[in-house]
Structure 1
Amino acid sequence: MRAEPGPGTVAVVTGAARGIGRGIALVLGEAGATVYLTDRESRRRRYSELPGTVEDTAEQVTGRGGNGIAVVVDHTDDEAVAALFRRIADEHGGLDLLVANACDGNALPFTGGPFWTLPLEHWRNMIDVGVRSHLVAAWHAAPLLIERRGLAVLTGYAGDPGTVIGGHVFYDLAMTSISRLAETIAHDLRPHGVTALALSPGFTRTEAILAATGGALPPGTDSVEFCGRAVLALLADGDASRHAGRTIPVADLSTVYGFADTGDDPPM
């Protein structure tokens, strides 16, 4: 059984410069965790005009009471990912939590449509970067998670049966693949006391969504920290293995565990 989240907790959150990854990291910081945050978006090199860098998030995690450690990683670089987990092995010997979140889904304008009308470059952004980076991170994290009987969370989205998620074939393939990946990873890790699952956020006020909509969002959208509350609840649950292999909406977990969204967006 894992200990309650706190100063002894060691976590990795990939893709944490902004968005849901940042929100998860901030909530873990409030719990006092040591959080290794990865992203290619850094103060030295910017890829997007959106606000936020991995160093910014690390400072905010520390400001909330945790220990934020910024690690600039391009998750298409397997050796850089391997080096991250070698560092964690050297410094801590194990890992309590992996949140595999890095993706490049916003690299091209996200507009659904018939599959033959969509740029093939979406494959690279969503499959080669998104799905593969989830797998590679979990591959390297597995021995460290086994050491501490930890938790692996993959972020993705669940769709209704018979629908194409987002009306976008590449997005649908990526999200469906992440769900299946969580199921197979859970199968392999279960005998070693590690729980793995996929977490499906709702309509979340990420920086990319706010920029795309001009801030004009309908009521009922979620803050980036809502997903973090779900991760923290799972981490604290000594019986989280009952969720293993599932893709679970954050809203469902809020009912199970009794947490609520703050309704506020954390300042950058």
Structure 2
Amino acid sequence: MMQPLKNKVAIVAGGTRGAGRGIATELGAAGATVYVTGRSTRTQRSDYDRPETIEETAELVTQAGGQGIAVQVDHLDPEQVRSLVARVEREQGQLDILINDIGAEHFAEFDKPIWEVDLERGLRLLRLAIDTHLITSHFALPLLIQKPGGLVVELTDGTADYNNRHYRQALMYDLAKTSIIRMAWALAQELQPHHCTTVCLTPGWLRSEMMLDSFGVSEANWQDATVKEPHFIISETPHYVGRAVAHLAGDPEVARWNGQSLSSGQLAKIYGFTDLDGSQPDAWRYIQEVTEMGKPADATGYR
């Protein structure tokens, strides 16, 4: 089994579930050592109050062929992040890949104007979705730039093209997801002199644990959800965006993407990887060409 990322060290900030879990697992499959961070452990749940834990994700990394290391970290706490990076440096002596995937979608109040939302809830969303990324980069990047070739991936929802032309149903959510795109571009300028790369990456319609639960289905019968929402047919597993990250991390010419906004479907066509079912869903093209045009749900030609 080829492991192009063997001897590479990654931090997946926000690796408890969803895209973070998929990314961590696929980095493990490529041979990486992955520090999986988050607040939810087997003994303590975060305010998400979900059953997934960082220990489970770390075990999936190891089962996939890498080395998974779970570290409980609140990325809003600078001292906890500082301690995490110090541990990585002490134990590994290097950091090659930083994944910033912390978000707070469950705090979003969609389809409400700013004057009707719970202000503290909205500000909490921004702190979790933006401040955590800044704090993590502040402490982790001095280690990452110690050698050329490092990669930073900022996870968001939506491409630059899409988000610049569409309101994302809530001002706070819109601001959070668009800010990450600009953050990645700015980081790219700062890392380029160190021969390191930053990209912004979005999955398509993600079949995360939370999304599956919202439809009352599991990964095994996810297509049953299309009865309620036909366009769910374009959805993808977290492994798809995970494979996008693994291919970026293993690309000796990854600098060509520096500062760009990318999607899992876009990169699948370039690198040739597939989702778990062998398909290549292209959700953002589907959304614009099918959903927004009012066409009936049909993923033919889009996966």
Length-normalised TM-score, structure 2: 0.81
| Contact 1:112/1:118 (8 A) holds in 2 | no
2:244 aligned to 230, 241, 246, which one?
A: 230
| Contact 2:5/2:249 (8 A) holds in 1 | no
In the other structure, the counterpart of 1:118 is 117
1:147-203 deviations in whole A, cap 9, x for unaligned? 2321000101223433112x1111110011101110110000001011001101110
Structure 2: state its 5+ residue gaps. Answer: 218-224, 227-231, 279-303
| Contact 1:123/1:170 (8 A) holds in 2 | yes
1:125-168 deviations in whole A, cap 9, x for unaligned? 32111111111111111111112321000101223433112x11
| Contact 1:35/1:68 (8 A) holds in 2 | yes
| Contact 1:35/1:66 (8 A) holds in 2 | yes
In the other structure, the counterpart of 2:73 is 73
Question: Computing the radius of gyration over CA atoms, which structure comes out larger, 1 or 2?
Answer: 2
Matched residues in 2 for 1:198 and 1:45: separation? 31
Q: How does 1:28-177 map to 2 (within 5 A)?
A: 28-47=27-46, 48-106=48-106, 108=107, 110-149=109-148, 150-157=150-157, 158=159, 159-165=162-168, 167-177=169-179
Structure 1: state its 5+ residue gaps. Answer: none
Matched residues in 2 for 1:248 and 1:196: separation? 11
Matched residues in 1 for 2:111 and 2:21: separation? 26
| Contact 2:76/2:135 (8 A) holds in 1 | no
Matched residues in 2 for 1:89 and 1:253: separation? 31
Matched residues in 2 for 1:72 and 1:225: separation? 23
In structure 2, the CA distance between the partners of 1:124 and 1:263, relative to structure 1 (3 Å rule), is farther
Matched residues in 1 for 2:37 and 2:197: separation? 22
| Contact 2:108/2:122 (8 A) holds in 1 | no
Matched residues in 2 for 1:171 and 1:248: separation? 19
Q: How does 1:170-209 map to 2 (within 5 A)?
A: 170-209=172-211
| Contact 1:18/1:51 (8 A) holds in 2 | no
Q: Which amino acid aligns with 2:115?
A: W
Q: 1:213: how far off?
A: 2.4
Matched residues in 1 for 2:238 and 2:124: separation? 22
What is the percentage of aligned positions where both structures have the same residue?
Answer: 39
Matched residues in 1 for 2:163 and 2:108: separation? 23
Q: 1:112: how far off?
A: 2.8
| Contact 2:109/2:117 (8 A) holds in 1 | no
The DSSP-based 3-state class of the residue aligned with 2:164 is: coil
Q: 1:49: how far off?
A: 4.2
Matched residues in 2 for 1:14 and 1:77: separation? 13
Matched residues in 2 for 1:237 and 1:33: separation? 14
